Structure 1
């Protein structure tokens, strides 16, 4: 069994990471009734109880996690979120030697995070990451969780990414990057996002872009169909301002511990994306997908590694008990624009490749039938019309019979790139706020031009591919499961 390390950077990255570890433990506790430390658990956790090292007998579940330590590195230049995590119910699973914090923050400045704090904490970050890797028997992947709009997530996050490529070039680097909304209250977020994207394009193996606005829309969609009240819990009316503030800045702690935080629901969506993506690495399956197969099958050109993701069913992300979505309906939903984690419609754009990761009690025949059903409505590039990668993990999410994650290399991603470019140009044309970046030692204004050129390159490449084929929508005559 291979192992993976999760690197959580900044407020957003650490909040998502906290939700991921919580939900992962719930899955293990549900499946592993005997409570033994096994290969499945070892993929993301290590056993620090030497008394049970030989028998690997370790209880898991609520109140019984003191001997489990997450394979995680937590980094933030403000202590708030990490301190809250260390004072919460999951405090026992984090190794205190794997934490890196400061008190002053990065001031929403990519240069402060990347150039100033990156250099200042270079040795400490390397020592911390090296310690985490040495505790793995067969390290396969790094998962980097961070936001693009602030200074820590964009700056230090991409600095860490460069370190990982330099020192561990053969270990896959998956990045989950949360993009700011168009009306984000961080005025410099377009600068930070474009500067960070240049680094992601050069140094990541796969990038899973997530848009804040898409998460907000999904939450609002779920709230429209869920019951108005749930016993014992308060239901919040989610609006853009409330959720955006919760994600991008420190928020006042809720007075009652049993109340739900609105941004927890958004973080649940991203955490469930990671749970489904890593399900084959954590559990057995009749058609498991290795993480290296994702990059092999979905990234035809090195820099075009931005994958559009969608999840179905959506209501499970809020732990809402609604009627179970039919298996066929789940497939149809996964390709609709309402289920995408970015604001785009893949059906009206070109697919370079597509992966389906199904979890639960499903037959290969049912998956084949549904692929045949949706294929006539999807446009694949002419040289990869059979570009499907299909995986089936036998273990479903907690409380569900099945779920579906789609990962698509689709030209619809240019919508995200175009919106980001427009916001960047609007600021940079007036040279607004650039002095904050120029005041950081080592920052040159040419970095803005280079980063914008990198973004233009991605746009041009995807647009060229989109225009290069005049092929009609492909027929459903053949199906090949890779």
Structure 2
């Protein structure tokens, strides 16, 4: 089984990453009832024996001792990273995975990309190498960042270029959060344009996420659930709710939006983490969906975004009709132009 490393850059990247690791742990806790460290867990987590002085990793098939995320957290402000370290996920990360500063990038792409990128280059490369050394078969780097902020767009794209330089054979999938037209950061359009050039040159796949679309989705669902009509209560295991509390519970303002992005990443990697007839390699995403190297922007889609509490969703059937175009013999009848897989 292959492993992937998640690189979170900037305030937005670390907030989305926090929700991602929370949902990933919940997903594996729901699936893995035996408490055994298996291939699915190894995709994003290391099993570390804290009783050993060197913190050595435990092999497959053993009991889960202490899970450590395969992640690198980078931010030029300490606020979000310190909040993660003081929260319920504090045990999932350690100091060797973190890189922070105190001044921030001032919403300036050039400061993040050129200034901080040059100052912290060696430290970033060192942390990326250490994360890669813990993998038996490193397959992919997932970079999560925003396009509007100085650290996310500037330093995030600098980290992307470092990944291509240090690990040219490893797939680089980038999740970029684009700013909305009502963004309060005046420099966000300029940061986005400058970052787009770097994404086109150094990424293998880019999954763009529009911030305004997330706001509209969450507001529409919240308005519907607040309508007072019976049967409109949303389940706690929906894509916009983490499962802890609800829309009016202890959720933070951006948690519902971040949960959508986190669920999107989990669904993309589920076929590579879990066994099944549709199991596929993450490299096949780029191989099948990218016709030209620079034309690698993929439109994400996720459904269902929510499930009503009193609605029973039937299980999906493993059947699909596939049209067979052009290369069928002309003598075939119309009924032969589809193949049924069950």
TM-score of the alignment, normalized to the shorter chain, above 0.5:
yes
Q: Report what 1:11 is aligned to.
A: 11
2:300 match: secondary structure: strand
Structure 2 counterpart of 1:323: 311
In 2: Cα distance, 1:321 partner to 1:189 partner: 39
Asked whether 1:38 is paired with 2:38, we answer yes
Query: Which structure has more helix as a fraction of its residues?
Result: 1
Distance 2:292 2:152 in 1: 26
CA distance 1:33–1:118, change in 2 (3 Å): same
- Taking the aligned partners of 1:324 and 1:160, their CA distance within structure 2 comes to 44
Q: Which runs of 5+ in 2 are unaligned?
A: 52-56, 237-243, 328-335
Alpha-carbon offset, residue 38 of structure 1: 1.1
How far apart are the structure 1 equivalents of 2:40 and 2:219?
A: 35
Taking the aligned partners of 1:274 and 1:103, their CA distance within structure 2 comes to 29
Q: Distance in 2 between matches of 1:477 and 1:221?
A: 41
Structure 1 residues 46 and 225: alpha-carbon distance in aligned structure 2, compared to 1, 3 A threshold: same
Residue 251 of structure 2 corresponds to residue 260 of structure 1: yes
The Cα of 1:125 is off from its aligned counterpart by 0.2
Structure 1 pair 67/185, CA: closer, same or farther in 2 (3 Å)? same
Inter-partner Cα distance in structure 1 for 2:245 and 2:195:
38
Aligned-partner SS, 1:309: coil
The equivalent residue for 1:166 is 165
Tell me by how many angstroms 1:280 deviates: 1.3
2:286 corresponds to which of 270, 295, 315? 295
Deviations 1:352-395 (A, max 9, x none): xxxxxxxxx53331xx14x66xx9xxxxxxxx999xxxxxxxxx
Distance in 2, Cα, partners of 1:292 & 1:177: 19
What is the root-mean-square deviation of aligned Cα atoms in Å? 2.6
C-alpha distance in 2 between matches for 1:260 and 1:175: 26
Contact in 2 for aligned 1:69/1:92 (Cα 8 Å)? yes
What is the deviation of 1:185?
A: 0.7
Following TM superposition, by how much is the alpha carbon of 1:95 offset from its aligned partner in structure 2, in angstroms? 2.2
In 1, the alpha carbon distance for the partners of 2:98 and 2:210 equals: 27
- Runs of 4+ that moved beyond 2 A: 50-59, 224-236, 361-364, 476-481
| In structure 1, distance between residues paired with 2:110 and 2:338 | 50
How far has the Cα of 1:235 moved from its partner? Answer: 4.2
SS of 1:312 mapped into structure 2 = coil
Distance 2:340 2:169 in 1: 29
CA distance in 1, matches of 2:214, 2:32: 31
> Is residue 53 of structure 1 aligned with residue 75 of structure 2?
no
How far apart are residue 221 of structure 1 and its match? 2.4
The question of whether the paired residues in 2 share the 8 Å contact of 1:315 and 1:322 is answered with no
How high is the TM-score relative to the length of structure 2?
0.86
- Counterpart in the other structure of 2:318: 364
User: Which residue of the partner structure matches residue 178 of structure 2?
Assistant: 179
What are the residue-to-residue correspondences of 1:16-415 with 2, within 5 Å?
16-49=16-49, 53=58, 56-59=61-64, 67-226=66-225, 235=247, 259-315=250-306, 321-325=309-313, 362-365=316-319, 368-369=320-321
In structure 2, the CA distance between the partners of 1:312 and 1:127, relative to structure 1 (3 Å rule), is same
Determine helix, strand or coil for the equivalent of 1:364.
coil
